[in-house]
Amino acid sequence: MAIQEQPTHTLEQLFEDLADSFLELKIQQEPSEVHGVLVGMLVQSDKKSVDDWLALLDMIDLDTAQIDERTQSIMQEIYQITREGLASDQYDFQLLMPADDYEVGERANALAVWASGFITGYGLAAEHKRDLSVEMVELLNHLHAISELDDQLSDSEENEKDLYELYEYVRLGVLMLRQAMQGDTGAAVEPSSEGKTLH
């Protein structure tokens, strides 16, 4: 896939663009899921390419032969923003999620499928078994639990707050896992391990 210019869209815009493209192409997977796969791959090595990402998507039965030039361009931009966000010392990595004006249940579902995609990508991209700390094993276990998050949620202030805290836990946990996997020496990222329940 050809290298593109500097990203010009936000991840929220790219979420909508990719969702529209997948709908037109009759691709079953959701944007958040394929982004989770990407991040699961990149936490292990930031040398992985867009083509490596597509190879993993083929392994989860996404027919990448369907992907047209416009969709490739969107995915390239998502890849670039994500890779740069993971490597940034400003901790500005973000998940590919629907905007805040979506209902809580829809955003909870997106977080759940993101976590599922991450677990899949992390497992498929592993080149050899690594010994992880207790904290990292706990994080992966929490991601498994988040992948089963209930999406039948009311738009309550409490659920909104809990979903935000879960999102931040996942976001910072991924950065911490990347540090552990790639041996970064920057400031430590310490997400709270306190579990949250959506009502």
Nearest to 120 by CA among 49, 48, 53, 187: 53
User: Residue 120: its pLDDT value, please?
Assistant: 96
pLDDT at 126 (0 to 100): 85
Q: What is the pLDDT of residue 155?
A: 81
For residues 140 and 119, the answer to whether their CB atoms sit within 8 Å is: yes
Residue 7, pLDDT score: 63
CATH assignment of 11-182, among 1.10.260.40, 3.90.1300.10, 1.20.120.740, 1.20.1530.20: 1.20.120.740
Q: Distance between CA 152 and CA 20 in Å, rounded?
A: 23
Residue (of 136, 135, 146, 128) closest to 36 by Cα position = 146
- Domain layout of the chain by residue ranges: 11-182
pLDDT score for 185: 41
- Give the separation between CA 120 and CA 56, rounded to whole angstroms: 9
The 3-state DSSP class for residue 79 equals helix
Q: Whole-model pTM?
A: 0.88
What is the model's pLDDT at position 186?
43
Q: Please, are residues 40 and 118 in contact by the beta-carbon 8 Å criterion?
A: yes
Dmax (CA) of the chain? 45
How do the pLDDT tens digits run along the chain, 199 residues long?
544 456 678 999 999 999 999 999 999 999 999 999 999 999 999 899 999 999 999 999 998 999 999 999 999 999 999 999 999 988 899 999 999 999 999 999 999 999 999 999 999 998 767 788 999 999 999 999 999 987 777 788 899 999 999 999 999 999 999 999 887 544 445 555 444 555 4
Q: How far apart are CA 113 and CA 111, in angstroms?
A: 6
Report pLDDT for 191: 55
Q: Burial of 27 by CB count in 10 Å (0-12 exposed, 13-18 middle, 19+ buried)? A: buried
Contact 163, 104 (CB under 8 A): yes
Phi, psi of 103 (to 5 degrees): -65, 155
Contact present, 81 and 11 (Cβ < 8 Å): yes
Q: Is 188 exposed, middle or buried (0-12, 13-18, 19+ CB in 10 A)?
A: exposed
